[in-house]
């Protein structure tokens, strides 16, 4: 990785401001229901504690839109962190106010302070220079370890780096290594699987991947736009009518680049968009009006598997059916299980793909699961991510 990490600088005795991604899901009583993002930040925090830094943590949680809202307080995160680290994590009542200044000025080496939700200040999302400067004034060094927000140019993800030496934590280092190696230096054959609802969400990703992959597999709702572009009747399946020409262009580009572009050959159709709807499996030539495709069928799973079994690098972003409904989760679950059984580098783009492999019980068998939905998508598009671009080069 061409960006400096915390290993490349001396942190001993220094106040280190770390941007983490503690945007964790909670139940109605404020209990954290999934601690993976907190666990993901621990290697960086522990390294800093072990190297005698004074560790100041910051993050957003939810969308408080610049207002202080109790339900978005980071206090439950503080409690979880204290438990995980085995030390008392002190919590500021504000971000750059009296409480934050007092706690951070009194810190000893190896201590940890958590600031309150950075999005309680509306200047955060505006990447306000004054707010960035105030944040920077609390510390000597800045570390970004929040890949999930690296595509946002906010004060705590990018702005603060103008005023402090800025390096990456271990989580961002890992993300760039796996996503970057898979994209730019893959062991071949390199296969990408794209799912999700809309072609429009993934146009740039498809364009970028067609320059790099040997095979591109398309499933999920977006497949029906491609199938209709091929002249097939797709019944009542989801379709972006205004993207039919684009789908044709992308199929032509794949042909010109000699990329094997695979679409479903059969689908599991439902009468309604409902978990208990009547369903049937039909070949793509026999899709009927009044029915909508909600998952890939068994022959498609077979075809996709044949290609995946020979792959050495696989990147997957987006589910292959409506996996929230048990009846239409088979395609996504089966492909997840196949990926888990392969001797290949398997990189899962964040968001729904992560939930899908988790749900299929295969998460621990993947080489890397990205922690950023939007960020990993933009990275796959070849975009520059502000939260990484602002870090010092090696």
* Average pLDDT for 65-71: 95
Does any domain span residue 389?
Answer: no
Which pLDDT band holds residue 350 (cuts at 50, 70, 90)?
low
Active-site residue 231, yes or no?
no
- Written as six digits, the tokens of 140 are 């000597």
> What count of Cα atoms within 13 Å lies in the side-chain half-sphere of residue 389?
13
Q: Are residues 157 and 210 in the same domain?
A: no
Q: Is 131 within the bounds of a domain?
A: yes
Report how far residue 152's alpha carbon sits from residue 154's, in angstroms, rounded to the nearest whole number: 6
8-33 residues labelled b (16+ CB within 10 A) or e (exposed): ebebeebbbbbbbbbbbebeeeeebe
Mean pLDDT confidence for 263-269: 98
Question: Is 75 known to be catalytic?
Answer: no
- For residue 390, being part of any structural domain is answered with no
Pick the more confident residue, 383 or 306: 306
Q: Is residue 207 part of a domain?
A: yes
- Length of the chain equals 394
pLDDT for 1 equals 52
Same domain? 348 vs 207: yes
Catalytic residue among 62, 66, 374, 382: 374
The reply to whether 342 falls in a domain is yes
Q: Is the pLDDT confidence value at 264 over 90? A: yes
Q: Tell me, yes or no, whether 178 lies in a domain.
A: no
Domain end position, chosen among 172, 205, 220: 172
- Look at residue 298 and give its three-state secondary structure: helix
- Count up the domains in the chain and report the number: 2
198 is catalytic: yes
* Catalytic residue (choose from 169, 195, 350, 351): 351
- Report CA-CA distances (Å) from 234 to 203, 217, 276, 367: 21, 19, 21, 36
CA angle, corner 245, sides to 243 and 247, nearest 5? Answer: 70
- Whether 299 is catalytic: no
Query: What is the reported pLDDT for 374?
Result: 80
pLDDT band at residue 326 under the 50/70/90 scheme: very high
Q: State pLDDT tens for residues 117-151.
A: 999 999 999 999 999 999 999 999 999 999 989 99
Q: Do 307 and 367 belong to one domain?
A: yes
**384 φ/ψ angles, rounded to the nearest 5 degrees:** -85, 130
**Domain of 353: which CATH number?**
3.40.50.1260
The active-site residue, picked from 14, 37, 119, 123, is 37
198-233 pLDDT tens trace: 888 888 899 999 999 999 999 999 999 999 999 999
- Active-site residue identified among 46, 198, 275, 299: 198
Note whether 111 and 215 are same-domain residues.
Answer: no
Same domain, 210 and 300: yes
Q: Are residues 56 and 149 in the same domain?
A: yes
Residues 203 and 162 reside in one and the same domain: no
């Amino acid at each position: 990785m061409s960006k400096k990490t915390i290993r490349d600088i001396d942190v001993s005795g220094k106040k280190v401001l770390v941007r983490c991604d503690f945007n964790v899901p909670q139940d109605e009583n404020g209990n954290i229901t999934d601690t993976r993002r907190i666990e993901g930040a621990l290697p960086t925090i522990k390294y800093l504690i072990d190297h005698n830094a004074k560790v100041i943590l910051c993050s957003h949680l939810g969308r408080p839109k610049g207002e202080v809202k109790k339900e978005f307080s980071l206090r439950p995160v503080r409690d979880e962190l204290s438990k995980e680290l085995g030390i008392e994590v002190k919590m500021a009542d504000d971000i750059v106010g009296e409480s934050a200044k007092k706690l951070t000025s009194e810190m000893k080496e190896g201590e940890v302070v958590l600031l309150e939700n950075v999005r309680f200040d509306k200047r955060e999302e505006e990447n306000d220079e004054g707010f960035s400067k105030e944040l920077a004034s609390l510390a000597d060094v800045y570390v970004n370890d929040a890949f999930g927000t690296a595509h946002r140019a906010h004060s705590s993800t990018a702005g603060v780096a103008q005023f402090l030496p800025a390096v990456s934590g271990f989580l961002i280092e890992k993300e760039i290594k796996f996503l970057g190696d898979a994209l730019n230096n893959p062991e071949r054959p390199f296969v990408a699987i794209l799912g999700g609802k809309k072609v429009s969400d993934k146009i740039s990703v498809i364009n970028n991947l067609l320059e790099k992959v040997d095979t591109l597999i398309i499933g999920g709702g977006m497949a029906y736009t491609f199938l209709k572009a091929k002249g097939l009747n797709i019944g009542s399946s989801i379709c972006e009518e205004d993207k039919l020409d684009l789908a044709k262009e992308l199929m032509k580009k794949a042909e010109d680049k000699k990329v094997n572009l695979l679409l479903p050959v059969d689908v599991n159709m439902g009468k309604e968009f409902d978990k208990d709807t009547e369903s049937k499996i039909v070949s793509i030539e026999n899709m009927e009006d009044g029915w909508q495709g909600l998952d890939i069928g068994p022959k498609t799973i077979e075809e996709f598997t044949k290609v995946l079994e020979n792959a050495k690098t696989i990147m997957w972003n987006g589910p292959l059916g409506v996996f929230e409904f048990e009846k239409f989760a088979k395609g996504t679950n089966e492909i997840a299980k196949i990926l888990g059984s392969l001797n290949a580098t398997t990189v899962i783009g964040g968001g729904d793909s992560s939930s899908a492999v988790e749900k299929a019980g295969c998460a621990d068998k993947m080489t890397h699961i990205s922690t950023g939905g939007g960020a990993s998508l933009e990275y796959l598009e070849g975009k520059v991510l502000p939260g990484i671009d602002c870090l010092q080069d090696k």
